Amino acid sequence: MVNYTEAKIYTVSRITKYIKNLFENDYNLQNVWILGEISNFKLHSSGHMYFVLKDQESQIKGVMFKGNNLSLRFMPQDGMKVKVRGDINVYERRGEYQLYVKEIVEAGKGELYLAFERLKEKLKAEGLFSEEFKKKLPLIPKNIAVITSPTGAAIRDVLTISLRRFPNLSILVVPSLVQGTLAAREIAKKIDFLNKHFNNLDFIILSRGGGSLEELWAFNEEILARSIYNSKIPIVSAIGHETDFTISDFVADLRCPTPSAAAEMTIPDKSSLVNNLNLLNSKLNKAIKRNLELKVENINSINKSIQYQGPENKINQYYQYIDEFSVRIKLRIKHQIELYEEKIKKDKQRLDSLNPGAVIERGYSICRKIPGKEIIKRLNQVEIGNEIEIIISDGKMLGKVDKKEVISK
């Protein structure tokens, strides 16, 4: 009978974690290559790939997460024979072991692919892929060269698109092998030749249509990679289709997905440039015109300010002040004259009222004593028999005093 109090009892999760730890610490189960056939392949909406890898006697579940499968150059399919690299571990939730795939290579291309990866890592370590060494292409090229097969569709695409976009472009077509064991060396020699004898080239396009890994292998050769790196003329790599990558792509100054794309990406559209230049010219003219208008307005404003603040304006202001002051003086003088005239008039009237002649004119007379012509104001000034003179308005009379008579008041 089992003594449960003495037995070592695990929970499911604990024993699963223990088994998972065994897998993780087994070196033989990490970074392992496995050859098999894909079945039950599913591409999840998350981007993760799930499948079964099998042979005639056994099978193992596999998963390749999105972060690892983005670099795949083909889409896995059921029945495809592949080599996969990854780690074998336990999926704790189901208690199943499975292969966590990092890399998939079609079995028929395994050796070439491994050679590709070895050379890629070697050249990368030497800095041949470094961005700091890549040369810039001119915005408007004048002279370019295309190294390609003279009979392929790639050269027709490059020529047609390039000359349609920029008819003035000069294109030097350099025929070369682009496939086979001699192709890489021949292309490298053509690059060296162009650098030596055609240093006026703006850039060189390496062009080839799509093909299998074996057909594109010339562009994965080290001799060609070093020739591209050492070229003083910028190199544009336009090899195969968009999903095809070669060592030449990594070394080149610009990688284009296809030959047609190379023409589109490197050759500007002349009509668009002309339209843009016309638009910029119009905007520039408007900006210059507006700027001149603003300058003129500013100058006029400054001129008015100078005129207002300058000595001439001040002199004119003084002139105006003098004119105004002169008017006020004249008005004041006129007013004073009018006042004086009024006063004189009144004084004259007063004097006229006091003038003896005026009094006489009103019916009065003046009596003077003769001979002294003393005006007689009182009776005691004359005696009986004194001669007197009486002045009236239109003459005078002479007489004697015959009688004096006092008039009582």
Residue 34's pLDDT band (boundaries 50, 70, 90)?
Answer: very high
CB within 8 Å of 35: residues ≥ 6 apart:
55, 81, 82, 83, 107
Looking at residue 215, its pLDDT comes to 86
Please check whether residue 121 lies inside any domain of the structure. Answer: no
Please check whether residue 369 lies inside any domain of the structure. Answer: yes
Domain ends where: 48, 81, 115? Answer: 115
Token representation of residue 247: 């060592």
Task: Answer yes or no: do 162 and 184 share one domain.
Answer: yes
Residue 235's pLDDT band (boundaries 50, 70, 90)?
Answer: very high
Looking at residue 404, its pLDDT comes to 81
Looking at residue 248, its pLDDT comes to 95
Query: 131-149, pLDDT tens digit by residue?
Result: 999 999 999 999 999 999 9
Looking at residue 400, its pLDDT comes to 84
Please check whether residue 328 lies inside any domain of the structure. Answer: no
Q: How far is CA 136 from CA 68, 91, 268, 278, in A?
A: 32, 49, 15, 26
Q: What's the pTM value of the predicted model, to 2 decimals?
A: 0.50
Looking at residue 399, its pLDDT comes to 83
In 3-state terms, what secondary structure has residue 143?
A: strand
Q: What is the mean pLDDT of residues 188-194?
A: 96
User: Structurally, how many domains does the chain consist of?
Assistant: 4
Q: Report the chain's mean pLDDT, rounded to a whole number.
A: 86
Domain ends where: 240, 268, 296? Answer: 268
Residue 303's pLDDT band (boundaries 50, 70, 90)?
Answer: confident
Domain ends where: 249, 268, 287? Answer: 268
* Rounded distance between C-alpha atoms, residue 337 and residue 333, angstroms: 6
Please check whether residue 162 lies inside any domain of the structure. Answer: yes
* 312 pLDDT above the threshold of 60: yes
Task: Answer yes or no: do 71 and 170 share one domain.
Answer: no
Task: Answer yes or no: do 251 and 286 share one domain.
Answer: no
Looking at residue 74, its pLDDT comes to 80
Task: Answer yes or no: do 148 and 245 share one domain.
Answer: yes
Please check whether residue 339 lies inside any domain of the structure. Answer: no
Please check whether residue 393 lies inside any domain of the structure. Answer: yes
Residue numbers of the domain that contains 196: 127-131+141-268
Please check whether residue 232 lies inside any domain of the structure. Answer: yes
* Rounded distance between C-alpha atoms, residue 54 and residue 47, angstroms: 22
Which has the higher per-residue pLDDT, 402 or 5? 402
Name the percent of the chain lying above pLDDT 90: 43
Rg (alpha carbons) of the chain, rounded to whole number: 63
Query: 43-85, pLDDT tens digit by residue?
Result: 999 999 999 999 888 999 999 999 898 878 788 888 788 889 9
Task: Answer yes or no: do 262 and 374 share one domain.
Answer: no
Residue 240 identity: G
Looking at residue 29, its pLDDT comes to 92
Q: What is the mean pLDDT of residues 304-308?
A: 68
Which has the higher per-residue pLDDT, 263 or 406? 263
* Rounded distance between C-alpha atoms, residue 241 and residue 243, angstroms: 6
Looking at residue 89, its pLDDT comes to 93
Least confident window among 136-145, 192-201, 353-362, 378-387:
353-362
Task: Answer yes or no: do 237 and 155 share one domain.
Answer: yes
Looking at residue 383, its pLDDT comes to 82
Residue 310's pLDDT band (boundaries 50, 70, 90)?
Answer: low
Q: What is the mean pLDDT of residues 148-158?
A: 88
**Between vectors from CA 241 to CA 51 and to CA 139, what angle results, nearest 5°?**
135
